Structure 1
Amino acid sequence: MQRKALKMFLHPGKEAEYKKRHDEIWPELASLLTSTGVQNYSIFLDEETHILFAYLEAEDLTKLDDLPNHPIMQNWWAYMADIMESNPDNSPKSVEIPSVFYLA
């Protein structure tokens, strides 16, 4: 299993809305992620800095490379763009976090 971690940036005051939207995640988005091999996907929030920390596992991380081309993913990004830092294409601004330790 391959692992990936990244951080994203939530606008201050949007914590409850971010959680609400993820509690109501679109079934078609959840299906897209699982069909791409995503497992154990978690997002954590540092309330002091508004940094979101995301962690996921997948058998083959290269299968995630096509996700930005899916209309479902693009629609989700557009839906989330008003509450988090986003790029011009509405994808969330994110920074990949390298692994430095793993205890299996």
Structure 2
Amino acid sequence: MQKNPRLSAIIDQLLQRPTPPVSVHVVVGELIPFSDGQIFAQWKDSPLMHVELTIRRILAEQQCMVCFQKYHPAQREVACPHCGARGAKVISGEEFFLESTEEK
């Protein structure tokens, strides 16, 4: 199983705490190439397997560098649907971070 290094870092950070949390909430962007199933599998294979994990997905948004229109990259398209130009700035969708924890 390929491990997500960002999730590994979150797990390592949580293991540094004196007591484990009851639940963990992470934010994952749509462009992260790991499915929820892969993330849950890595979580279940960690020392925090008994801690509840919740994933909140963020939709991807890009901005064309030619016409400056913002759009959702359906099917991970690389061409702007407004002008057809290639080359866009990713505005959202690459996030992967610990949003919050609930303690005992």
Normalised by the length of structure 1, the TM-score is 0.28
Which has a greater percent of helix? 1
Larger-Rg structure = 2
Bigger relative CO (Cα 8 Å, ≥ 6 apart): 1
TM-score (normalizing by structure 2): 0.28
